[in-house]
Every structure is written in structure tokens, then in C-alpha cells.
Chain A
Amino acid sequence: MDADGRRKTLIDSDRIRKFCHLYSKDFSGFTCVLKYPYISHNTLHEFWLKFMITENWLPKHTTGRVVLFLAFLFMFGMIWFPILEMFYWSFFVKEPGVFEFAGLSNFQKLFTNDPIFWKSLQVTFSFAVMVVPGVVGLGLLLALAVNTIKSTTIRGIFTVSFFTAYVVPLVAIALVWRYIYLPGKQGLLNVIVDWFGVNPIRWLSTSEWALRSLAILRIWKEAGYAMVLFLAGLQAIPKEFYEAAEVDGANGWRRFRHITIPLLTPMIAFVVVITTLGAFLAFTEVYVITTQDSGGGRGGPNFATNLMAFHIFNTAIAYGHEGYGSAMSAVFFVIMVAVGYGQYRFIRASFEY
């Protein structure tokens, strides 16, 4: 601790001192924080000062600096600026012919007087809870199965086959899936369930099954991508580990549990995070599959498939309430960041080698 009771952190104080002396001449109002050999334990200050020592990260070559500058410009213009503008608009009433400051009234309405928003949030979480384990589980299962194939050609055929579902645009196959989900005995799925003595299910017309139907579709579509990622992860695991375990008498399940899963954890973490984010941002399934003709109406029946991305689109784009839609987007953005970060930290903490 220093004389003022602040925790001391030594960060190359000579260089920082020189920096502060230098920049205090050129930036009016810039306050040199380094009055002491040690600066206070302040993450933001540390980051800023490290950042300002540009030789740590700035490319030495001019071309590199130009490229970095362009990348920064692109990132700001295409990613950060729209996000900032979204937060900005969330404080306004922005509708056709109207653009006026509204303060926090959009957020007030959102938190106190919009049951459809909370219903959509609940539907979105339910959708993610169904999709993520399905994609991860099915993807892993497929990867394990395909990984046992010794012939490269055959393995390639299976890999491509399963991956095809991922690359085919959903809009293109939507009509096929709507017929698969026909509620009567004409629907393909109902023909299959009929083999097991189950009555025809109204897949898209009832609250009970509509969201599950979209989840099944999403799992079918995404599992191939997860499979490819897991397959790469499995093939990166050294065979010697399995051989050594086999010599030690470990059976298949123990090898899977103590070798495959731990070494595949980084890939599992990645798949979980991107699948969750993808589920949170799902839109096409609702827009294309759920229609008035299929029984429920878009986002229906009774908002059972009213995923958040679709709800925001409806509010901001279809209905023209851009300010209110921006407020929804802002809240949802914060929720998604928290969920993604939480997942990443939780799974990272579980790494085992």
C-alpha cells in the first residue's frame, strides 16, 4: 500500500512517466495520473496506459498501421456505430413522421406495460434451452459415429451429407418442412408417428408443439455444423491417450468420459456459445415456417413462436416503432452479452487436461 492507502501496481513507471510528460503538453485537459512511482490499482487506467504505449501493439511497418487503421474504421462503422445508434434511438419516439426525445419512457413501457415482450423473451429462452442440448448432443453423436469410419472417402461422404442441411438456405427448404409439419395424416412426421400408434399432431397450430417444431427444425439444420467442428476436435486428440488408457484397462465409456470430453471441452464451449447466440437470434424459422395458413400465424399461435428477433423486427420494421424497437434491442443486447459471457466463463472454468 502507498501512503494514501492505495494498492500499488508497478507498470514500468519510467516509461509511463515519460508518456505523461509528453502528452500533457499536447492534449489540453489531459491529466497525468502518474504523480507517484506507482499508479493506483485501476483496471481502466492500466488498460489505457498500456494501450497508449503503442509499441506494444502498433505494427512497426507503415502498411501494417494502415491496414490496422482501416480495420478499426470498418469495425467502428459496421459494428460499433450501429450498436451505439441503437442505444441512442432507444431514448426517442421514432415513427413515420415523428422523431422526438422520449427519455426513459420506452424502457418504462417495456418493463411495466408490455407483456408480449416478456412472453417473447421467455419463448426465446425456451427455444435456446431446447436447441442447444439438441445441437450439441446430436452433433457430438454424429461426430463420434463418423469418426469411427476408417475410410476417408466414406467419412467424407457422411460429413458432406450431414453438413448439407447447414448450408441449404432455410427459405429454400421451408416449403418442404411445412408439408412435413402438416397437421393431418398427410404430414410426413404424422405418418411416422402413426407407425408408433400416436395420433396426428398439429405441429404448428398448437402452442404446445409449435415451438418444439421450430426447435426440431433448427437442431436438424445446425447439428451438421456442430458435427464438423466436433469431428475436427476429435481428430486432434492424440491416439496415444486412448491406447494408454486401453492398456490401463479403461473401457469405452471411461475413455470417453476422461479423455474425449476433457480434451473436447474447448470445442464444446465454442459450439455451446455460438449455438446459444444463434438460437437467441433465430428469425427465419418464424418468418418462413409460421404463417396464417399453417395455422398459427407468424409468431403464433398465441405468441408461442414469437422469438425475440422476430418480435423486434415486427415492432421496429413492420409496425414502424423504431424507437421502441431500439429499446427492446438494447435490453436484449445486454441480456445476450450477459448470457454469452456467463456461458463462456462457466465452461472455461471446467477445462481439464
Chain B
Amino acid sequence: MKSTERLSRRKFLALTGTVTAGVLLAACAAPAPAAAPGSGGEAAAVAVPEATTLVAWFTDRRTINVMTEEEAIPDFEASNSGITVDMQFVPESELQQKLLTAKAAGNAPDLSSIDETFLDTLTKQGVLLPIPEEVIDVKAEMGELNAELYKISVNNAPPAYYGLPNGVFSANLFYNATLLDELGYTPDDIPTRWDDFMVWASDVTEWEGDTLKRSGFAIFGNEGSLAPDVRYHMGGPLEGNQFATKDHVRLADDLGVNSWKFAMDVYDVHKTDSKAEGLNSRERFGFGNAVTLYQWTWFNGVMDTTYTDIDWGLKSPPTMDGNPIYGRRGPDVGFTVTSQNTDNLHAAWTFWRYLVSPAYLSKYCKLRGVQPSLKAMWDDPSFSADAGPRWGAIAVNNRPENTVDEGFSPRELGDIVGRSLASIRDEGDDIASVLQANELAANEFLASNPQWSIITAADYEANPQWLTSIG
């Protein structure tokens, strides 16, 4: 009996200790390196298996996903026998983490649509594969600015492209054609200068006591877009750029303070919208209670699919003198290849190229409200200034000479800058003080995290052609 007890205790402890140590070692072991991405040439040389199934992650943009699933993928599969695409949906807020987790587990999707705010992180984490030169000539197909901006060098590797913009978009003035008609106006009657516009918008606004019945110019929730654009209206393409250099943002200068004051005057002076009610301006417009709305054009797809009762159109936003610069434009990034299966690489790049082609982007860009990045589509009549009331203004706005591309910044910087809104609009804090505090925090961030993806005033000074139609 005693020897049995002795053996059991000893064996038990020895076994526990051994297994625990084994678990520890296994958990601390470095993950297996991801399959090395082949260059375009190598991928082409790899024998394509009989049938390849690609897993493609798309973020939760209902309008685009329905089109992709019902039209685009069947078209692609019909033209590329042997390749099938398994489309899976991932909420955008979870995409970055899911991609990182999937990569660590060795089962990353073959392709994934990402947001531009993820591009830097995912590239550094080795999730995204570099785009082979054989697949796309970025400079020839997307222009010099994109070729310069999206070339990334990670961990001392040669610079390469990991994600590209499908297109660019900007803020436009949405108008409710039915309400305009009822009020006796046409879209052409909408003033193009801010001072005239605010008078007109006040005239068409209707209040019932403290309740806003009809907004003449709805901006609630979009003040953070309006203020930086008004900064351009006031300061021009160089001074208006809030990023002076890649490690310095200017929020609290006179232009910054005045542009925020302009936005707050919409509520406090002109009273064309209400901040007390807290009703989001997009909803107010979608429910038919706003004559005009200041909004980025990704809202086009939502209007077409959700608020189908509204007869709406687009106009370029007012400016101080009625002429461009209309404000900022920003990229819509984009599709990436993330495959860890070398057998799938050829098929993955084939599908990627389809997604970045006129065949797909002609549908995608319409739903997304972006002006295509591919030069081959710039002369497409359906994306021209004559493409009707729901597109013409987009084509005009997104010309290099009419808006300024500031590039994009990571979420953390956006959150720092975005703190201004709640303080100024909801808390009623002093505009200059708020902007100074946030400028300090933003510059602290930039000092330790200079952003390659931001296009600054200094960049435009060095490359003035980027502000012209040639760029």
C-alpha cells in the first residue's frame, strides 16, 4: 500500500510537471512563418490545380455585397473555369483582428477587402501580400499620385504595393428634389456661395416651437467633415491642409478655429439644423425632413437601397466664392491578397485583378459613390460630369484640381482629432481650447508615429502637379 501511494504521488507530480512544461513550450513557440508569397512570375509558373476555391472576405456593405454575390462572382467564375469564389462577410470593425487571428492560425482568406485605416497595420504584420508588378502597373493605370502614395517599404524590404484605392470620394451636397419643388426651387437655384446659401437654407428651414420640422441644411453627425472642408474654402489647397508636414497637424490655427465656428453657426446662428434633438442628419434626410444634406458620397448606395422613396440629387458644395477648392477627397481602399496557400496564389491574383478592373469597378464604384481610380475608366460616360444628377457632381468634385487628397490616417489619429466634435458641439467648450488640446495630443502621436499615408501641404508644395488635372 505504501509503495503504491508513493508511486502515485510521484508519478502524478512528474506527469503534471512534464505536461505543463510541454504546454508552456508549445505555447511560447514562434508561429510557423506564413507561406512565402511568390512573385508574379513564380505564381504564373505554378501549375494551377484542377479546381481552386478561393475564400474572399468582404466587409458588411450590403449594397456592394449583394451585387458582388449575385452578379460579379458568377461573371468571374463563368470566365475563369476552375476557380470558384466562396464569399464570406465580416463586420468591418472586426476585420483587422480576424485577419490577424486567421493569419496566426494559418487559415487566412485568399483575399480580403480592407479599410485604408488597416493598411499600415496589416502590412507591418505581414498579413498582406505585395502586389506583383506583372499584375498591375500602378503608375500607368492609376496615376503618379497613387503610385507615390501607396508604395510601402516594410521591415527594410524593397518598397511594394499592398493595397490600392478602388476610387476616391468626397463630400457633396445632397438635395431632396421633391422638397425643392414643393418650395418652388430647382437644383440650379441652390446658391453656390456660403453666405447666400445659408440665407437660402434658413428660409427653407421650418421650426415648430423647439422642434425642427424641416431642415434647410442638415449636418448633425457630419460636422467633423464640414469643418476641415470649410478650412480649404477659407485657406486654399495649401493653407487649408490641416497636415502641414507628416509629423505636424495644425488644428488650432485661425483657419481651424474659424472653420469650426462656421460649422457651429449652422446651429447657433442660421438654425438650419438642430443639435438638441440629436437626430442624425442622414436619417433626417432619408426620412424626407431635410432639403439639403452635407455628406460623403458613400451615402449614395444607402439612398438607392434604403431610402428609395426620396427623389434626390447631388451638387458640389458651396464655397466662399462659389469656386473650387471644394474640400478634401479620400481613398476607398481596397482589395488585398492575403493567401497563405501557394497553390491558390495564381487564382487569387486573377480574382484580385478582376476586382480591380473596369468590369467590376463600374458596378462597385456606382454603389460606393467613388470616382474610379483606374485611368481607363476616367472617360467612361457613366462616371462623367454629364452622368446625371446623382453622379455628375462626384465626377466634378473628385478632379485633382477641385479637391485635395489628404491621404488617410490610422484610426488612433482619427479618434484624437475626432474628440473635438463632442467637446465643441455637445459640451459647448471653447473651440480654441479644445482644438489646442487635441492638436497637442495629435502631434504627440505623430512625433512617435509619422504617417507615410498622409499627403501634407509640404508634399503638395514639392509636387504642385498633384493639384492639377495632370496629377
Residues of B within 8 A of A58 (CB): 8-9, 12
Report whether B422 and A318 are in contact in the complex, using a CB–CB cutoff of 8 Å: no
CA distance A206 to B427 in the complex (A): 6
67-99 of chain A: CB within 8 A of chain B: 69, 72-73, 76-77, 81, 96-97
Is B235 an interface residue when CB atoms closer than 8 A count as contact? no
Total residues of chain A contacting the partner, CB 8 A: 41
Contacts between the two chains (Cβ within 8 Å), count: 101
Is A202 an interface residue when CB atoms closer than 8 A count as contact? yes
Chain A residue nearest in CB terms to B224 = A292
Chain A binder among B161-169, B275-283, B352-360: B275-283
Report whether B278 and A26 are in contact in the complex, using a CB–CB cutoff of 8 Å: no
Is A294 an interface residue when CB atoms closer than 8 A count as contact? yes
Q: What class of interface size applies to chain B in its complex with A? A: 35 or more
**What distance in Å separates the Cβ of B351 from its nearest Cβ neighbour in chain A?**
26
CA distance A97 to B121 in the complex (A): 8
Residues of B within 8 A of A202 (CB): 276, 278, 426
Residues of A within 8 A of B412 (CB): 318-319
Chain A residue nearest in CB terms to B2 = A18
With beta carbons under 8 angstroms apart, the residue of A97, A200, A292, A293 that contacts B155 is: A97
Report whether A207 and B23 are in contact in the complex, using a CB–CB cutoff of 8 Å: no
Residues of A within 8 A of B124 (CB): 96-97
Chain B binder among A218-226, A296-304, A345-353: A296-304
**What distance in Å separates the Cβ of A350 from its nearest Cβ neighbour in chain B?**
40
With beta carbons under 8 angstroms apart, the residue of B410, B415, B426 that contacts A296 is: B426
CA distance A302 to B412 in the complex (A): 15
Is A329 an interface residue when CB atoms closer than 8 A count as contact? no
119-156 of chain B: CB within 8 A of chain A: 120-122, 124-125, 154-155
Report whether B5 and A55 are in contact in the complex, using a CB–CB cutoff of 8 Å: yes
Residues of A within 8 A of B421 (CB): 292, 297
Secondary structure at the B interface, as helix, strand, loop or mixed, is helix
Chain A binder among B14-22, B73-81, B263-271: B14-22
CA distance A323 to B12 in the complex (A): 36
CA distance A185 to B211 in the complex (A): 8
With beta carbons under 8 angstroms apart, the residue of A73, A183, A302 that contacts B427 is: A302
Report whether A300 and B97 are in contact in the complex, using a CB–CB cutoff of 8 Å: no
Known contacts A182-B278, A319-B412; is A296 also within 8 Å of B422 by CB?
yes
Known contacts A55-B5, A185-B277, A292-B421; is A72 also within 8 Å of B16 by CB?
yes
Residues of A within 8 A of B410 (CB): 319
Chain A residues near B (Cβ < 8 Å)? 22, 26, 52, 54-55, 58, 65, 69, 72-73, 76-77, 81, 96-97, 182-187, 200, 202, 204-207, 292-297, 300-302, 314, 317-320
List the 6 closest A-B pairs by CB distance, nearest first. Answer: A184-B277, A301-B422, A97-B124, A183-B278, A96-B124, A205-B426
